Amino acid sequence: MNVEELITKLAKERDMWKEKAMNMVEKSTFNEVRDRLAEVNQQPTVKAEAYNIAWQKVEEIQKKYDALRETYAILFDTHQVEVDKDKIWKERYDAEVINAEFWKNTYYENVGIKGKVYVFSDIPNDCDGQRFTDDLKKYLNKESYKMRVRGQYLKDEVKVTEGWKKYEYGQPIEQSKCLRVYIDKK
């Protein structure tokens, strides 16, 4: 604990005791307590022994700091050679990263999905559309793919009665004019 922390701690402790004293005193004796506190504040609250101990600690820490600084100065000189080697390895690593990014981007350009992620859209939400989506589910390879059916376009009567704000993030299939089918890899 350094000197500043010790002084701060003692000042906080003094303020805490002042506050406790203020809370305990009634209004009639407030002036007497205030005068007594003024006298206490004029007297030194930290003994010279405490300052001497703190200064001794500071001197010990300063000696340790100086010794460490000398040690690190020697290590820094030998470290500079290794830093140069690290720069060479970093340049090689950066070149490899750029090469890897190139091949990754080339792969995604050739293999990635182009266009929308849904497979079927504008399927009417009637008996024929329901039968079509049911048949798709029935014959889908469920080991490799997953199928999702979502609503598309809010029905006009729902827009008039309920408004579109309620379905800002999508509407249930019953409230949709059409359906969309998404087929995702598992």
List the domain boundaries for the chain.
Answer: 3-46, 118-185
pLDDT at 88 over 80: yes
- For residues 99 and 186, which has the higher predicted lDDT (pLDDT)? 99
How high is the pLDDT of residue 179?
92
Over residues 128-141, the pLDDT tens digits come to 999 999 998 898 88
> Rounded to whole angstroms, how far apart are CA atoms 181 and 123?
9
Q: Where are the alpha helices (DSSP H) in 25-144?
A: 30-42, 48-111, 127-139
How high is the pLDDT of residue 178?
92
> Rounded to whole angstroms, how far apart are CA atoms 142 and 137?
9
pLDDT at 93 over 80: yes
How high is the pLDDT of residue 92?
87
Q: Express the helix, strand and coil content of the chain in percent, nearest 5 each.
A: 70, 15, 15
How high is the pLDDT of residue 70?
79
Over residues 108-156, the pLDDT tens digits come to 777 766 656 777 888 999 999 999 999 988 988 889 888 999 888 888 8
Over residues 1-56, the pLDDT tens digits come to 677 787 888 788 888 777 776 666 555 566 776 777 777 666 666 666 666 777 78
